[in-house]
């Protein structure tokens, strides 16, 4: 008789297209599923409040899905290198399976654990469960890693479709559940005093079925116009799948195949929208690839020239940026959307991030830490690579001297001011003409709109033109560096 297998869930909180789970079931025998709350060795720096809220609901959904199939799901806290061997003893486990993570510390920990378990006589196998292709699969002609997205994407597409996803099992052969394990409620992942999660609850449905519903809705209603509308924060034009992907509630390979099948069926505009969308999923792979090959990226500039950049230490400005009180409506709207829903539209992420690093000259690492703490989709690879990209020091980055004008960005991408009015109600009554630069409105217009500038809404923290010049001269200081 085949003995029990252990499946260690990490960033793959789903039953569909889960290669580790599939392998355990295929082996035969009972399957014990475990999730370990591990803040010490995961390498994925501490989980912020919004992501903790998500994790709670995602684990609750996974627990229900496993229970409905007769499976066993255990929660544990502590260090996996100790807990996994303990569980193996407790359940007489013979084989251990997991899907790989790509954060530098997770890679090192998992390699050591694999060796240790094998030395103890267990069968151990790991899989790709979270990328279209793994970092070591997509190589340049010379066998190296890509540092530029377009050739990376071409090479990835040239490899053909990734393997087809595997459906969720109907039945999970479990073991009796009167064994040890934590209670999810005891992890206190949800905010209590105060409970600030109302905006998250209105915006999201964590869990595999929520992810699937989100994908179908996006493919049915928005994908055909994705190419035109993906930069518009005032429209519901993107998939909002990022937190579902960050927690692994849907695999990118499954998204790829569902989207490709839809493209074949629909053709025309839908097909082109689907390819633009899949290209973004490609950016996700690219960023994981970058982090895997450059493990110091979370703390060091990819482009070392920026090590000498004259960042300013300005606690007050950082706080105003975090709270959405810079006086630049497009930036403030984004930072308030983030605070309320744990999410910011990509275009506004770029504008707000650029404002921090270029208008305020604050080190990108402060912005990265704030996003990591507040985003529901906080993901080390995507967050770090995108922050470095915006700051100009990342791989394939926008040139530093291209400085977003927060006024022009608002006028272009939120043309009717719907987004700004939603998140900054205190300036909603301003005519469109002044909405992105309230300080230019005559006193009579401000009075009529009920705005007392500097009191009900801040005056601009810096003057755009002067801030731009200051950023360019700061860049001049490092331009020539080796």
Which active-site residues does the annotation give? 280, 283, 311, 346, 364, 387
How far, CA to CA in Å, does 51 sit from each of 344, 377, 412?
A: 14, 7, 31
448 contacts 429 by C-beta, under 8 angstroms? yes
Q: Which is nearer to ligand FAD, 125 or 280 (CB)?
A: 280
Q: Which of 14, 240, 253, 365 binds ligand FAD (CB under 6 A)?
A: 240
Min dist. Cβ of residue 210 to ligand FAD (A)? 13
Min dist. Cβ of residue 368 to ligand FAD (A)? 7
31 contacts 20 by C-beta, under 8 angstroms? no
Question: For ligand FAD, which stretch binds (CB under 6 A), given 41-49, 59-67, 302-310, 385-393?
Answer: 385-393
How far, CA to CA in Å, does 235 sit from each of 62, 410, 415?
A: 31, 13, 11
Measured CA to CA, the distance from residue 143 to residue 145 in angstroms comes to: 7
Q: Residue 211: phi, psi to the nearest 5?
A: -65, -45
Number of helices (H), then strands (E), in the chain: 21, 5
Measured CA to CA, the distance from residue 96 to residue 187 in angstroms comes to: 25
Residue 41 binds to ligand FAD (criterion: CB under 6 A):
no
Spatial CA neighbour of 182 closest among 25, 63, 29, 15: 63
Q: Which of 58, 72, 239, 374 binds ligand FAD (CB under 6 A)?
A: 239
Residue 350 binds to ligand FAD (criterion: CB under 6 A):
yes
How far, CA to CA in Å, does 458 sit from each of 323, 431, 452?
A: 11, 18, 9
Q: Which is nearer to ligand FAD, 61 or 350 (CB)?
A: 350
Residue 366 binds to ligand FAD (criterion: CB under 6 A):
no
Sign of CA dihedral 113, 114, 115, 120: positive
Return the residues of window 327-346 that contact ligand FAD according to CB under 6 A. Answer: 346
Question: For ligand FAD, which stretch binds (CB under 6 A), given 7-15, 31-39, 281-289, 416-424?
Answer: 281-289
Return the residues of window 173-232 that contact ligand FAD according to CB under 6 A. Answer: 230
Question: For ligand FAD, which stretch binds (CB under 6 A), given 69-77, 183-191, 282-290, 321-329?
Answer: 282-290
Q: How many residues bind ligand FAD (CB under 6 A)?
A: 28
Residue 246 binds to ligand FAD (criterion: CB under 6 A):
yes
Residue 349 binds to ligand FAD (criterion: CB under 6 A):
yes
Residue 281 binds to ligand FAD (criterion: CB under 6 A):
yes
Spatial CB neighbours of 466, under 8 Å, sequence gap ≥ 6: none
Residue 359 binds to ligand FAD (criterion: CB under 6 A):
no
Question: For ligand FAD, which stretch binds (CB under 6 A), given 189-197, 199-207, 317-325, 373-381?
Answer: 373-381
Q: 22: part of which helix (H) or strand (E)?
A: helix 19-27
Q: Which of 386, 388, 409, 436 binds ligand FAD (CB under 6 A)?
A: 386
Measured CA to CA, the distance from residue 424 to residue 411 in angstroms comes to: 15
Min dist. Cβ of residue 288 to ligand FAD (A)? 9
Residue 354 binds to ligand FAD (criterion: CB under 6 A):
no
Q: Which is nearer to ligand FAD, 72 or 386 (CB)?
A: 386
Q: Which of 283, 311, 339, 439 binds ligand FAD (CB under 6 A)?
A: 283
| 31-37 β-sheet, strand order | 72-77, 31-37, 5-9, 95-99, 123-127
Q: Which two tokens stand for residue 252?
A: 């990118």
443 contacts 270 by C-beta, under 8 angstroms? no
Residue 379 binds to ligand FAD (criterion: CB under 6 A):
yes
Catalog residues that contact ligand FAD under the rule CB under 6 A.
230, 238-242, 245-246, 277, 280-281, 283-284, 287, 346, 349-350, 353, 371, 375, 377-379, 382-383, 386-387, 390
């Amino acid at each position: 008789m085949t003995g029990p297998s252990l499946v260690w869930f990490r960033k793959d909180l789903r039953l569909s297209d889960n290669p580790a789970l599939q392998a355990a079931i295929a082996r035969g025998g009972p399957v014990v599923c475990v999730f370990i709350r591990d803040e010490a060795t995961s390498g994925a720096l501490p989980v912020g409040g919004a992501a903790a809220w998500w994790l709670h609901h995602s684990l609750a959904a996974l627990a229900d899905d496993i229970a409905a199939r007769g499976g066993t799901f255990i929660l544990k806290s502590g260090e996996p290198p100790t807990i996994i061997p303990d569980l193996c003893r407790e359940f007489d486990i013979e084989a251990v399976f997991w899907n790989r993570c790509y954060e530098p510390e997770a890679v090192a920990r998992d390699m050591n654990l694999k060796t240790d378990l094998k030395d103890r006589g267990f069968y151990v196998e790991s899989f790709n469960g979270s990328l279209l292709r793994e970092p070591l699969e997509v190589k340049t002609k010379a066998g190296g890693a890509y540092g530029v997205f377009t050739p990376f994407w071409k090479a990835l597409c040239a490899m053909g479709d990734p393997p087809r996803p595997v459906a969720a099992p109907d039945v999970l052969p479990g073991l009796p559940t009167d064994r040890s394990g934590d209670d999810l409620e005891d992890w206190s992942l949800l905010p209590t005093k105060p409970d600030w999660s109302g905006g998250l609850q209105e915006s999201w449905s964590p869990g595999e079925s929520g992810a699937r519903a989100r994908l179908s809705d996006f493919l049915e209603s928005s994908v055909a116009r994705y190419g035109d509308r993906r930069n518009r924060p005032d429209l519901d034009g993107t998939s909002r799948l990022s937190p579902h992907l960050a927690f692994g509630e849907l695999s990118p390979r499954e998204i790829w195949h569902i989207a490709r099948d839809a493209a074949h069926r629909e053709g025309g505009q839908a097909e082109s929208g689907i390819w633009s969308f899949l290209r973004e999923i490609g950016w996700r792979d690219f960023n994981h690839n970058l982090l895997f090959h450059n493990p110091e990226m979370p703390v060091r500039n990819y482009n070392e020239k920026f090590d000498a950049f004259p960042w300013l230490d300005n606690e007050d400005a950082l706080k105003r940026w975090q709270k959405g009180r810079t006086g630049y409506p497009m930036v403030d709207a984004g930072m308030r959307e983030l605070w309320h829903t744990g999410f910011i539209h990509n275009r506004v992420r770029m504008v707000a991030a650029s404002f921090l690093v270029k208008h305020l000259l604050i080190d990108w690492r402060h912005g990265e830490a704030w996003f990591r703490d507040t985003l529901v989709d906080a993901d080390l690879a995507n967050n770090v690579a995108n922050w470095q990209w915006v700051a100009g020091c990342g791989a394939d980055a926008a040139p530093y001297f291209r400085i977003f004008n927060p006024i022009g960005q608002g006028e272009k991408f939120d043309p009717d001011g719907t987004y700004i009015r939603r998140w900054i109600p205190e300036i909603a009554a301003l005519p469109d003409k002044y909405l992105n630069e309230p300080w230019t409105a005559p006193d009579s217009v401000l009075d009529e709109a009920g705005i007392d500038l500097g009191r009900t809404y801040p005056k601009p923290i810096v003057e755009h033109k002067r801030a731009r010049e200051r950023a360019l001269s700061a860049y001049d200081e490092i331009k020539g560096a080796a």
